[in-house]
Amino acid sequence: MSYIEIHDAVREFPGKDAPFRALDHVNLTIERGEFICLLGPSGCGKSTLLNAVAGFDQLDEGSIRIAGQPVTQPSLKHVTIFQNYGLLPWRTVAKNVELGLESMGMPPAERQQIAEKYLELVGLADFRHRHPAELSGGMQQRVAIARALAVDPDILFMDEPFAALDALTRMKLQDEISSICREQHKTILFVTHDIDESIVLADRVVIMTPNPGRIKTIVRVDLAGRRDRTSPDFLHIRDHIFTEFAMKPADQTEYYI
């Protein structure tokens, strides 16, 4: 039995004439500690799948189990990080990080201590008294990451968390989230439509296609440690994924890994 089991997932939305299939019999299993990227063009159902696994949305058919338990609602053990960060603008950075700890009935002193620890981890300890609006996008996303990690979840769900950031900040955060999550043994389901991002982060890249939303293939990324975006192995995998999306001219040499 795998840690996360998505079995025959179907999700339909009402359409003009016929219902629209955002997910069409999707099957996927994820092991504990794996970093999985969902990769695909806009509208292929990545967010729909993530929302269902995170418990925000229900399937029409099929089932999703985490550690054997059917998913019916979001849980403090499975935290989602959103593209627009989802920070509460009326709270300071530190109070945002404490948000989840408050529901755990933890005394204030302990909350502060934990918030401090995770703000340090993401390099924002000096900004604890600021409000989110006073921070750059990259810093805001770091706060959201600290807030998610603070409740010590088993799983992190991320829906294009870095999409709104500039390329250099994005690469920096990719490296950070990758090392943090591996050190802390989190299981990650990460949505992106950036091919390089998926190769930097994932153990396996799940390639999805739209109309209806399906899994096309799964590409294993066997690169150890911190990934060099310019290494031949990296480019090799990149090439392979391009081929999967049929974004390469047909007459080029094919590579398989």
Ligand X SMILES: Nc1ncnc2c1ncn2[C@@H]1O[C@H](COP(=O)(O)OP(=O)(O)OP(=O)(O)O)[C@@H](O)[C@H]1O
Binding site for ligand X (CB under 6 A): 13, 20, 22, 40, 42-48, 193, 213
Interface residue with Mg ion among 21, 38, 47, 140 (CB under 5 A) is 47
Query: What is the closest distance, in whole angstroms, from the C-beta atom of residue 130 to ligand X in the complex?
Result: 30
| Comparison of 46 and 95: residue with beta carbon closer to ligand X | 46
Report the DSSP pairing between strands 61-66 and 4-13: antiparallel
Is there a contact between 141 and 161 (Cβ–Cβ < 8 Å)? Answer: yes
CA distance 87 to 198: 25
Could you say which of ligand X, another protein, Mg ion, none residue 76 binds, taking C-beta under 5 to 8 angstroms by partner kind?
another protein
Is there a contact between 80 and 74 (Cβ–Cβ < 8 Å)? Answer: yes
Phi/psi of residue 23, nearest 5 degrees? -130, 130
Residue 26 CA, chain-centre distance (Å), reads 18
Which residues contact another protein (rule: CB under 8 A)?
54, 56, 73-76, 78-80, 82, 84, 86, 88, 90-91, 99-100, 102-104, 151
Query: What is the closest distance, in whole angstroms, from the C-beta atom of residue 79 to another protein in the complex?
Result: 6
What stretches of the chain show up as alpha helix (H) in DSSP? 46-54, 93-103, 108-121, 137-150, 167-183, 195-201, 232-244
Burial of 223 by CB count in 10 Å (0-12 exposed, 13-18 middle, 19+ buried)? middle
Query: What is the closest distance, in whole angstroms, from the C-beta atom of residue 219 to ligand X in the complex?
Result: 18
Query: What is the closest distance, in whole angstroms, from the C-beta atom of residue 28 to another protein in the complex?
Result: 21
Q: Does 209 bind Mg ion (CB under 5 A)?
A: no
| Closest residue to ligand X using C-beta atoms | 47
Could you say which of ligand X, Mg ion, another protein, none residue 22 binds, taking C-beta under 5 to 8 angstroms by partner kind?
ligand X
Report the interface residues with Mg ion, using CB under 5 A: 47
